[in-house]
Amino acid sequence: MRKFLTFFIFIFPIITFSQVSKDTIFSQKLKEDREFSISLPESYATNKTKKYPILLLLDGDYLFNPFYGALNYGAYWEDIPEVIIVGISQNQKGERFTDCSVDPETGFPDAKGELFYEFIGQELMPFLEKSYRIAPFKIIAGHDVTAGYLNFFLYKDQPLFNAYISLSPQFPVTMEETISERLSSFNQPLFYYQATASGDIKSIKEKTIQLDAAVQEIKKPNLNYRFDNFPNASHYSLVLYAIPNALYHIFGIYQPISVNEYNEKIANLPSGYVDYLNKKYETIEKLLNLKTRIRLNDFKAIEAAIIKNKAYNEFGELSNLAEKQYPKSMLANYELALMYEYTGDFSKARKYYQAAYEREEIGNLTRDMMYEKMEEMKNVKTKEPSETTPSETAPDKKP
């Protein structure tokens, strides 16, 4: 019985959280069925209106699981948004090579390689967008031959994908030169990540480093580029090093305010703490095409900066923002109560703590807390505001 219970404990999380399934689409271009794996985010079934970024994996047979693990881990901590993952199966009869076939002289897709390109752009992606709630932000990733091939989607004036993850790319002829030209021509935000390693295949490593040197010369603010050359890694092991780096490069702006961000970018500002918060989320929307509600953790970080720098008038702006973001919660009234408490108007502070008490609890803001603050404001006559840091004021992340 004990063995059975142990087994059940280990498999239960997989049953609960795994939402990976197989599907097939018939391609008119390829004249064949193509299988793909798909993972829907944990909240997909309950949040009926939310749209999610999509990651399309070439070489989905072996890239799916490492990407799936990294994305789910990052989403759990809210460092990375929930993402729909689609992996194209390419392990039948050497499909990864025939799918990515190119003319050896021109370096452009030919034969099945051209049809596979059309399959992705004209059949698979439209099918996925029709079948699932997909946000405008799209990522594509591949390894060696498929990593080189995915760059053909940069050749269009309006690229199909917003972000490209190229792991140890095997470039067709002259592609390393063409990519830098294409990247320098775009004015819209674009993410590009490539990786090699000390133990990578020599020809691949040399061309990847050559491309990196060319891209480093591009001075365009809308190009978000990162290159990694991993020591002591091989052509295959570099994939496990690169995946988290690539994802955190693409979704870096999405992360909640960290202690480092607070100390280096916020705490030392002379003013404009609420403006900083607004701009952070405006940038998330602009770069990632994701409209995201401001996290409570980030409200608490800005609250801490206001107190540290005695910019108490900004609590009014923070309250207005809280009312828009969390209209039923006690957060907006709580921020006003702080403003009056720290400016010495304890009567008004008590009034707003009471107003907060009558609204919904949120995070670590509870009715018990509001009641205690109301009682405190009854008798307080003088108060020296104490400095706080995000670690003291921000709610902890998930245990």
Over residues 206-216, the pLDDT tens digits come to 999 999 999 99
User: pLDDT tens digits for 286-319?
Assistant: 999 898 999 999 999 999 999 999 999 999 999 9
Summary mean pLDDT of the chain? 91
* Interacting residues of 317 by C-beta distance below 8 A, sequence separation 6+: 274
Taking the alpha carbons of 362, 368, 369, 373 in that order, is the dihedral positive or negative?
A: positive
Structure tokens at 293: 């509600």
CA-based end-to-end distance of the chain: 30
Q: What's the CA gap between 344 and 381, in Å, rounded?
A: 8
pLDDT at 394 over 90: no
User: pLDDT tens digits for 29-86?
Assistant: 999 999 999 999 999 999 999 999 999 999 999 999 999 999 999 999 999 999 999 9
* Per-residue confidence band for 6, with pLDDT thresholds at 50, 70 and 90: very low
Q: What's the CA gap between 345 and 159, in Å, rounded?
A: 57
Please answer whether residues 23 and 38 qualify as being in contact, where contact means their C-beta atoms are separated by less than 8 angstroms: yes
Pairing of strands 20-27, 32-39: antiparallel
* Interacting residues of 263 by C-beta distance below 8 A, sequence separation 6+: none
* Per-residue confidence band for 13, with pLDDT thresholds at 50, 70 and 90: very low
User: pLDDT tens digits for 85-122?
Assistant: 999 999 877 899 999 999 999 999 999 999 999 999 99
Measured over all CA atoms, what is the biggest interatomic distance in the chain, rounded to whole angstroms?
Answer: 85
The type of residue at 26 is: F
The type of residue at 178 is: T
Q: Which of 21-25, 82-86, 382-386 has the lowest mean pLDDT?
A: 382-386
Residue 1's CB is within 10 A of a number of other CB atoms, namely 5
Q: Kindly report the pTM of this predicted structure.
A: 0.86
